Structure 1
Amino acid sequence: MPLHRLVFFLGGFDPKTPRHYHRLYRAAARAHPPGPEGEQLSVGPRRTHDALSDVWDVHWRPAQGPALHTRHVVLRWDDIVLHHWGRGLRRVLGDWRLMYLRRGALRAMARIHAAAPACFWLGNLPLGLALGCLTAAGLLGTALARAQGLPLALGLLALPVGGLLWRLLERRLDTEWLLRLYAFTCAQGEGQLPDLEARLDALADTLLEQARAHPAHELLVVGHSTGAIQAAAVLARALQRGPDLTACAEHIGLLTLGHCTPLLAWQPRADAFRAELARLAETVDLTWWDFTAPADWAAFARVPPWTEASGPARRHATSPRFHQTMSEAAYAALKRDRQALHLHYLRAPERPGGYDPVTFTAGPLSLAERHRALRASDGAPGLSDAP
């Protein structure tokens, strides 16, 4: 059966398995706003293709015209995430060392503060919570010692209480989910993750193998959150290893959602990743679109995912404008839940006419065709819109 689209998806820094993403995709398809009468959309069962990928089929039958068949492939790195997911105190202190005590990380954080202040402060929230609890305990202990006429040094005995309060509040607030993500990416920039580098090479080979075996109208790579970093690296490596990749599909697309590529690209030692971004920007046949919401503090809405890279690739970065595709009450509730907002790129909109993950990954138009239509209509420009 000829394929309209071959999709490769990479999730973010989360130990969720392909089962989770298949469930999310099915839910998005069920909640997909209805189209013209007679249009049908169905998502097939998930099946394991090999150790590195799971697949399922999506069938889109428009009201008019031939049916569209999409093969959706989840490229796996969740096992590597799980290995680095520890939440014990030893892991937290190690993440602090990567984030707050290295010159390279501090230089990157200075750039992040200038370009995306919300990301900077959210990344420093775990440190603020810890220091706040310890400082409050120390001050309270000192005040009690003074009131009792005891040596002020005895007030320091309250610090363990502050440490306990810190861990209890952290378990309730879960401020360290972003710390784990940032520290992992800092380690990637320092070249400290050989298991990840080997996996990205293997995933590039998997992408090449499946693209050659399943020619399609569009080959589309999708990355969410930190997965946008890995998606860019995998596609760049696949293009380097297989110059014939651009002949495996009429259109080659990269779709990034809620990206945080500057977190790696701005690491002083991340020369290899910056070269990969440059390779993508220089690929004439590539269309790269990004949707990142300014309200999403865990992402870089005001910095394009290709950062400083330039070239002839067609590029467009804009907001998904979640507020236009949902009710006012639902959007207000979404903004109050930062984690839910960061995951909302994978969910169906309430109303049609805007960003919709199912339409982009299973619908009729490729990214290249959308880009051509956007340019022809002189639509509102995004953050960066290269011809």
Structure 2
Amino acid sequence: MQDHGSDRVRKRRVFYIPGYDPIHPRRYRELYRKEGADQAAISGYEIALSPKTSGGPYGWHVNSTQDGAAVEADIEVLVWSDIVRNSMGKSIVATYAQLVRTAATYIFSGALFGLMRLRKGPVIAALYPIFALILQALIGIGIGLALSAIFLRLIPFFTLNWVLCLALTAATLALTLRWFRKHDGKFFAYYLMHDYAFTARWGGSNPPELETRMAEFANRIERAMSEDWDEVLVVGHSSGAHLAVSILADLIRENRLPPSSWQKYPGEELAAGQGGAAPPTLSFLSLGQVVPMVSYLPRATRLRADLAYLATRPEIFWLDVTAPGDGCAFALCDPVAVSGVAPAGQIHPLVISAAFTQTLSTARWRELRWRFFRLHFQYLCAFDRVGEYDYFRITAGPHTLAARFAGRAASKSVITTPANRFTNIT
């Protein structure tokens, strides 16, 4: 493992990149506050939140005492929820058109069949909105036909029966679909359809407005790397993981990191008053990644190139955490290797499991097991059976990510077999 400098952290800057999520980022602050307090009570350390002290549009400050060490962290959410909301502003008819285009993209490109060779859980999650929306339409048609049959019994000899029956069925279908969309917070069919359609529409490449936002994120991370922090930690969750890969690859490829930011000596500490003379350690934590959903598409050349590049770079330490219990993630799939772009000198990522069945008590696992969307966020939450993965020790603890997992081998069941038809890169 590469040495990434001092393993002690007193001040940390965390950049959290959410997945495809239209909700205001205050949700992540409240989730951190509640779950952090729960984990601190379980694990026996202290953690408290206050308003952020650094710049940025949204974030919070953390003070924590763990293992006798006091640590401060500024956590900033890199927001792209406005782009997500704009992509979701579709009519019902437009959403069904998205269904056809998205299904065609994944099926006719062959991406769907490659993905099924990796993990069936996230493929089922991808197929769910398609079948759910079709089922909702069939329910509406079925109710409309039933009402039409009742109408025919009441007025059997009316001249324009068929016209009225057709109108009644169409009106019932429209009302049914509106009801399902209004209650999509329970079904997640429209939400997931928009999510997959957002990726499929561009064939795996990023839309211009997202590329612009990613460049802004890169600027914020670059600025933090020149400030007085011991560690700059980038956390990418779900779709945010592959955005982080490209952002970090850009920063390193364009030589935008401070000189020697990864060449500090083992155990080196900054002297009092030395300020930011030694650059921060740069760390990357990917959680619940869905990289193959993008990298398996034909136009994902940028992402595949960034994966291959980042996998060899000593400037960072990259830890990838997933869990087989998360049906929405490509659990224990090395995102570089399974994408078919693993270079000869690959050193990243270290792929480990959050092992929900071991780190959650039987009662807690029974409570969450079938709440698939909630399990996809478990990486950001408390575990009542303490294991080696602890989001709050990583983001607010006294050790760098590399030091915390030094000597840790990858999980034994890591999947590295490529099943991608498209391995071209630019």
Q: Do these two structures clear the TM 0.5 threshold for a shared fold by scoring above it?
A: yes
The one-letter amino acid of 2:254's match is R
- Which of residues 201, 208, 219 is equivalent to 1:194? 208
- Which of residues 161, 184, 196 is equivalent to 2:172? 161
Change (3 A) 1:328 1:278: same
Alignment of 1:182-331 (within 5 A): 182-189=196-203, 191=205, 193-216=207-230, 218-245=231-258, 247-248=260-261, 249=279, 251-306=281-336, 307-310=339-342, 311-331=345-365
Q: TM-score, length-normalised on structure 1?
A: 0.84
What is residue 57 of structure 1 aligned with on the other side? Answer: 61
1:63 Cα deviation (Å)? Answer: 4.3
The one-letter amino acid of 1:326's match is L
Are 1:25 and 2:59 an aligned pair? no
Change (3 A) 1:67 1:107: same
Unpaired runs of at least 5, structure 2: 1-8, 262-278, 417-426
What is residue 86 of structure 1 aligned with on the other side? Answer: 89
Deviations 1:144-191 (A, max 9, x none): 59x98999x888664653454344345432322221111112234454
- Which of residues 174, 187, 193 is equivalent to 2:188? 174
The one-letter amino acid of 1:198's match is T
| Native 8 Å contact 1:219 1:251 kept in 2 | yes
Unpaired runs of at least 5, structure 1: none
Over alpha carbons, which structure has the higher Rg? 2
Larger RCO, structures 1/2 (Cα 8 Å, 6+ apart):
2
Deviations 1:316-360 (A, max 9, x none): 223212232333222112122122111222111223234221111
Q: How large is the Cα RMSD of the aligned pairs?
A: 3.2
Name the structure with the higher helix share.
1
| Native 8 Å contact 1:70 1:362 kept in 2 | yes
1:236 Cα deviation (Å)? Answer: 1.4
1:260 Cα deviation (Å)? Answer: 0.6
Change (3 A) 1:92 1:36: closer
Change (3 A) 1:381 1:296: same
Name the structure with the higher strand share.
1
> In terms of mean alpha carbon deviation, does 159-168 or 10-19 score higher?
159-168
| Native 8 Å contact 1:119 1:297 kept in 2 | yes
1:226 Cα deviation (Å)? Answer: 1.0
Change (3 A) 1:371 1:47: closer
Q: For residue 13 of structure 1, give the secondary structure of its aligned residue in structure 2.
A: coil
1:240 Cα deviation (Å)? Answer: 2.0
- Which of residues 21, 29, 48 is equivalent to 1:42? 48
What is residue 422 of structure 2 aligned with on the other side? Answer: none
| Native 8 Å contact 2:222 2:257 kept in 1 | no
Change (3 A) 1:35 1:128: closer
Percent identity between the aligned chains? 26
Q: For residue 33 of structure 2, give the secondary structure of its aligned residue in structure 1.
A: helix
| Native 8 Å contact 2:53 2:74 kept in 1 | no
Deviations 1:285-319 (A, max 9, x none): 32221222222222111422333343333422232
Change (3 A) 1:281 1:43: same
| Native 8 Å contact 1:314 1:371 kept in 2 | no
What is residue 360 of structure 1 aligned with on the other side? Answer: 394
1:204 Cα deviation (Å)? Answer: 0.7
| Native 8 Å contact 2:238 2:289 kept in 1 | yes
What is the rounded CA distance, in whole Å, between the counterparts of 2:326 and 2:67 in structure 1?
A: 35
Q: What is the number of equivalent residue pairs in this alignment?
A: 375
